[in-house]
């Protein structure tokens, strides 16, 4: 999908731009997004659905990486948008993203967030629980405004991924449980409501999934319930949203399916299930985050300190770490990397790449083979486009990196590097702030 290559100078090039030039221009750490890679992936999703001749929506899960430029790109690529907070919704609207193509998720949407969604007339709200449902019924009644909703259910399917990113099992904080009759009850309430329009069902089984079986299982499981709803309440959904979670390649050994294959398999399962009921195939919606932006992102760091422990290990440290990529510390996630300025050289040593935080767990890559590493080299870590910048933080008061988009030999900064001024902008001096009596 991507445009990475080693150029004539033996350097890593992305989108036709020399990564060393990017490092010199914008400084490090730097997130570099290969826009063509994102385009190609969006196109592959579109083509897979078109080939299947079903109505569909591809909603980019903006939690993976959200900023104004990314929302603009998602819109340009004909994607809908999954947001899960008022902040993501605000960013989308600020980018001019069409409200009617925005879907709102979350297990604890606040009354203010629901009101914002209803006022902005977004495309749909994915109702997660009875608390939210009660609020939403009252809100739309008081505003006399209609709102399309999907109902999120937990299909009881294990996605076989890290437990922190697995969401489809019955014991989950997300969605209505299918076995206890709670989903039935929610549907009954929705069908009799004058302002909430139940468009369909949503399930998301987890993330970084390499096999299509989980999605097929989820579709079958949902259809088992649809049979029941059809008999008990004469309800059949217009929309079947199967969520996101399509895996990507982080390191050797990761072998996701081609994107089209996930789509083919889930759509074919839905077609077979619909045919067995003599019903139309619902619109199929998916919500890829990582699969759209993960491999498109590369983080460029500068190498600083080196520590050799004879016979034990060599640590080389970079100028970022868990502040821009918390995934290794949080999920034991694995990554691979090259020296961007000497990408063609053969590997000569094994090093472990440490971040700069005061935290032993701040390690990015263990036992990485590289050419002999020198201070000042550029290290390019691949597949950092999803849940890297979006989970970035200021631990140790480290500044968040800049983000640059590259395409066809051109580059453009889309998020500036944080500054010291940004860091302390919302803070007040203790002595001057004073206490307020109370």
Q: Which residues are catalytic?
A: 358
Residue 104 phi/psi, 5-degree rounding, is -105, 125
CA-based diameter of the chain, in Å? 73
Q: How far apart are CA 124 and CA 185, in angstroms?
A: 20
Q: Judging by DSSP bridges, how do beta strands 313-318 and 297-309 pair with one another?
A: antiparallel
Q: Is 288 annotated as a binding residue?
A: yes
287 is annotated as contributing to ligand binding: yes
Of residues 388, 312, 325, the one with CA closest to residue 352? 312
CA distances from 4 to 15, 30, 314, 323, 340 (A): 7, 16, 28, 25, 11
Q: Is 5 annotated as a binding residue?
A: no
Distances (CA, A) of 399 to 63, 93, 317: 20, 26, 17
Residue 395 CB, shortest distance to ligand LLP, in Å, is 16
Q: Which is nearer to ligand LLP, 175 or 282 (CB)?
A: 175
If DSSP codes are grouped into helix, strand and coil, which group holds residue 60? strand
Shorter beta-carbon distance to ligand LLP: residue 225 or 390: 390
Q: Is 244 annotated as a binding residue?
A: no
CB of 305 to ligand LLP, least distance (A): 27
Burial of 391 (0-12, 13-18, 19+ CB in 10 A): middle
Contacts of 323 (CB under 8 A, 6+ apart): 355, 357, 392, 393, 394, 395, 396, 398, 400
| 98 prior amide bond cis, ω within 30 | no
Question: Considering the complex, what minimum distance in angstroms separates the CB of residue 127 from ligand LLP?
Answer: 13
Alpha carbons within 13 A on the beta-carbon side of 153: 28
Would you state the structure tokens that stand for residue 380, as one six-digit string?
């390019």
Q: CA-CA distance, 190 to 212, in Å (whole number)?
A: 31
Could you list the residues that contact ligand LLP (CB under 6 A)? 61, 63-64, 82, 105, 165, 204, 207-208, 243-246, 287-291, 327, 331, 386-387
* Strand pairing category for 337-339 and 124-127: unpaired
Residues 6+ apart with CB under 8 A from 181: none
| Residue 318, strand partner residues | 303
Q: Is 327 part of any known ligand binding site?
A: yes
Any binding-site annotation on 387?
Answer: yes
Return the number of the residue (13 or 82) whose C-beta is nearest ligand LLP: 82
State the nearest-atom distance from the C-beta of 276 to ligand LLP, in Å. 27
- The tokens describing 156, both together, are 């009881």
- Report the distance separating Cα 121 and Cα 57, nearest Å: 18
| Torsion on CA atoms 309, 314, 320, 322, rounded to nearest 10 | -80
Which residue's CB is nearer to ligand LLP, number 149 or number 370? 149
> How near is the Cβ of 290 to ligand LLP at its closest, in Å?
4
CB of 269: closest distance to ligand LLP in angstroms?
A: 19
Residue (14 or 165) nearer to ligand LLP, CB = 165
CB of 135 to ligand LLP, least distance (A): 20
Close Cβ partners of 250 (under 8 Å, ≥ 6 residues apart): 294, 333, 334, 335, 336, 382, 383
Q: Which of 411, 376, 417, 392 is nearest to 27 (CA)?
A: 417
Nearer to ligand LLP, 291 or 316 (CB): 291
Nearer to ligand LLP, 214 or 244 (CB): 244
Residue 36 or 202 with smaller CB distance to ligand LLP: 202
Binding site per annotation, positions for pyridoxal 5'-phosphate: 245, 287-290, 387
Binding site per annotation, positions: 245, 287-290, 327, 331, 359, 387
Binding site per annotation, positions for substrate: 290, 327, 331, 359, 387
């Amino acid at each position: 999908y991507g445009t990475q290559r080693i150029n004539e100078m033996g350097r890593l090039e992305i989108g036709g731009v020399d990564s060393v030039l990017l490092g010199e221009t914008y400084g490090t750490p730097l997130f570099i997004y290969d826009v063509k890679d994102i385009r190609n992936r969006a196109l592959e999703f579109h083509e897979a659905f078109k080939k299947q001749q079903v109505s569909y929506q591809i909603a980019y899960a903006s939690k993976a990486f959200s900023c104004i430029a990314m929302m603009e790109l998602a819109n340009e690529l004909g994607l809908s948008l999954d947001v899960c907070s008022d902040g993501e919704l605000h960013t989308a609207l600020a980018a001019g993203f069409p409200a009617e193509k925005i879907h709102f998720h979350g297990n604890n949407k606040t009354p203010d967030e629901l009101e914002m969604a209803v006022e902005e007339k977004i495309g749909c709200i994915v109702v997660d629980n009875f608390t939210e449902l009660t609020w939403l019924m009252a809100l739309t009644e008081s505003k006399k405004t209609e709102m399309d909703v999907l109902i999120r259910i937990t299909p009881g399917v294990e996605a076989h991924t890290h437990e922190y990113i697995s969401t489809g099992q019955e014991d989950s904080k997300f969605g209505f449980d299918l076995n206890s009759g709670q989903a039935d009850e929610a549907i009954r309430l929705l069908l009799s409501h004058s302002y909430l329009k139940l468009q369909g069902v949503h399930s998301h089984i987890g993330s970084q999934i390499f096999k299509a079986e989980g999605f097929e299982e989820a579709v079958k499981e949902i259809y088992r319930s649809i049979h029941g709803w059809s008999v008990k309440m004469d309800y059949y959904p217009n929309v079947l949203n199967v969520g996101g979670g399509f895996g990507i390649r982080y390191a050797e050994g990761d072998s996701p399916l081609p994107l089209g294959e996930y789509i083919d398999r889930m759509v074919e399962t839905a077609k077979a299930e619909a045919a067995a009921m003599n019903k139309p195939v619902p619109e199929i919606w998916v919500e890829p985050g990582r699969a759209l932006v993960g491999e498109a992102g590369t983080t460029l760091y500068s190498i600083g300190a080196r520590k050799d422990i004879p016979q034990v290990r060599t640590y080389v440290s970079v100028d970022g770490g868990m502040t821009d990529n918390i995934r290794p510390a949080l999920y034991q996630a694995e990554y691979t990397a090259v020296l961007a300025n000497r990408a063609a050289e053969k590997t000569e040593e094994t090093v472990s790449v440490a971040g700069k935080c005061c935290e032993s767990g701040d390690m990015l890559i263990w036992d990485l083979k590289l050419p002999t590493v020198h201070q000042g080299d550029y290290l390019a870590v691949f597949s950092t486009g999803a849940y890297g910048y979006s989970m970035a933080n200021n631990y140790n008061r480290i500044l968040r990196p800049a983000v640059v988009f590259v395409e066809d030999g051109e580059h453009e900064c889309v998020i500036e590097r944080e500054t010291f001024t940004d860091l302390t902008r919302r803070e007040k001096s203790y002595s001057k702030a004073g206490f307020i009596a109370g």
